[in-house]
Amino acid sequence: MKILVTGGTGYIGSHTIVELLKAGFDVCTIDNFDNSYPSVLENLNKITGTQIEFDEVDIRDKAALKKYFQSKSGIDAVIHFAANKAVGESVALPLKYYENNVGGTINLLEAMQEAGINNIVFSSSCTVYGEANPPVDEYTAILPATSPYGNTKQICEEILMDQTRASDIKVVSLRYFNPVGAHESALIGELPIGVPNNLVPFITQTAIGKREFLTVFGNDYPTPDGTCIRDYIHVVDLAIAHVAAINYLANKKYRDAFSVFNLGTGNGNSVLEVIQTFEAVTGEKLAYKIGGRRAGDVVQIYASCDKALKELGWKTERSLEECMRSSWKWEQHLQSMGNK
């Protein structure tokens, strides 16, 4: 089977390409390098020993996307990562998010329909649940989004659901909890542009000296140590789930044309636990201060992953320790490369 990966030079896309090739799939990929770099392709070539089939295509450009599909034959399924994901930026620039995340998805669906491609795996987020009682399963009610970014994920799921009613398309929507970690080779990982918003890149950048200290956003939450709880999932485990989702579609294991799965570990860890784990596995002492709460943060969320285990035959295998170890190795690699 041949899989088109949109956003293939991004954080999760790049790791997924590695796992798809490992599992024997043919892969082609597109990206517009809006939030990634061409060097990722060279590193993917090194890891996989395969020349990655790549074209620079912007999914906002409907004509270019359609032309791309016309020029490629044999694509059986699409894994759609190409999107913007910074919550704060989405509040400041909502139109950018609606144009790229929603408009881009519509363009992609049109191009797929024209090309007769009926299988898609979509990158969704646990953000669709808002504040819910963990462990959160897939039947948990979806709450009004608290950011334009979150809203784009909800809208795209609705569009995909509508499209399953109007066509032969089959959809697997994967709701990620908190992806962290990097490939064991340290050749690919998360490449935040500017000051990172997310916890783990901020931790590694602080430890390496790029940031003076980490601010823990609030220690007065109703949790055992007062800091927020999240479900941190290793990006390689997450990537492997996409292979499982493709097999699920290929083997027609679904009951409904639109299927949704939570992807997490099933465990919650507090911000302080993440810091302690980082310090324990790396031997680095992290400079951090307790600050005020960050607007929009939910107190605690972690996944129920029973459905993914039962139907996709997938569960995580990598620990929080492994997440921290690989994130640190990646940060050190970036430094050794002059952060290029």
Q: Is 214 in the site for ligand UD1 (CB under 6 A)?
A: yes
Nearest Cα residue to 243 out of 140, 330, 172: 172
In the region spanning residues 296 to 335, those forming contacts with ligand UD1, defined by CB under 6 A, are 296-297
For the question of residue 149 being annotated catalytic, the response is yes
Q: Is 294 in the site for ligand UD1 (CB under 6 A)?
A: yes
Query: Could you give the C-alpha distances from 240 to 209, 234, 319, 322, in angstroms and in order?
Result: 32, 10, 15, 16
Closer residue to ligand UD1 in complex, CB, 48/198: 198
Residue 48 to residue 21: CA distance in whole angstroms: 7
Residue 111 to residue 117: CA distance in whole angstroms: 9
Q: Is 178 in the site for ligand UD1 (CB under 6 A)?
A: yes
Residues in the chain: 340
Q: Is 199 in the site for ligand UD1 (CB under 6 A)?
A: yes
Q: Is 215 in the site for ligand UD1 (CB under 6 A)?
A: yes
Residue 23 to residue 244: CA distance in whole angstroms: 10
* Given 11, 149, 176, 302, the catalytic residue: 149
Q: Is 241 in the site for ligand UD1 (CB under 6 A)?
A: no
Q: Is 242 in the site for ligand UD1 (CB under 6 A)?
A: no
Query: Could you give the C-alpha distances from 266 to 35, 42, 134, 269, 308, in angstroms and in order?
Result: 29, 34, 9, 10, 11
252: left (phi over 0), alpha (psi -120 to 50) or beta: left
Q: Is 82 in the site for ligand UD1 (CB under 6 A)?
A: no
Judged by CB under 6 A, which of 15, 80, 175, 230 binds ligand UD1?
A: 230
Q: Is 7 in the site for ligand UD1 (CB under 6 A)?
A: no
Using only C-alpha atoms, the chain has a radius of gyration, in whole angstroms, of: 19
Cβ neighbors of 134 (< 8 A, separation 6 or more) are 229, 268, 300, 301, 302, 303, 304
Q: Is 150 in the site for ligand UD1 (CB under 6 A)?
A: yes
* CB of residue 126 to ligand UD1, shortest distance in Å: 7
The percent helix, strand, coil of the chain (3-state, each to 5) is: 45, 20, 40
* CB of residue 290 to ligand UD1, shortest distance in Å: 9
* CB of residue 304 to ligand UD1, shortest distance in Å: 17
Considering Cα of 98, then 102, then 104, then 107, what sign does the dihedral take?
negative
Closer residue to ligand UD1 in complex, CB, 85/318: 85
* CB of residue 12 to ligand UD1, shortest distance in Å: 10
Q: Is 228 in the site for ligand UD1 (CB under 6 A)?
A: yes
Stretch that binds ligand UD1, among 55-63, 67-75, 191-199, 323-331 (CB under 6 A): 191-199
41: left (phi over 0), alpha (psi -120 to 50) or beta: alpha
Judged by CB under 6 A, which of 202, 261, 278, 314 binds ligand UD1?
A: 202
Closer residue to ligand UD1 in complex, CB, 136/228: 228
Within the chain, strands assigned E span 2-6, 26-31, 53-56, 75-80, 119-125, 170-176, 178-180, 214-217, 229-230, 232-234, 258-263, 269-270, 288-291
In the region spanning residues 89 to 128, those forming contacts with ligand UD1, defined by CB under 6 A, are 125, 127
Number of residues located near ligand UD1, criterion CB under 6 A? 20
Closer residue to ligand UD1 in complex, CB, 201/249: 201
Chain residues binding ligand UD1 by CB under 6 A are 85, 87, 125, 127, 150, 178, 197-199, 202, 214-217, 228, 230, 271, 294, 296-297
Residues with a known catalytic role: 149
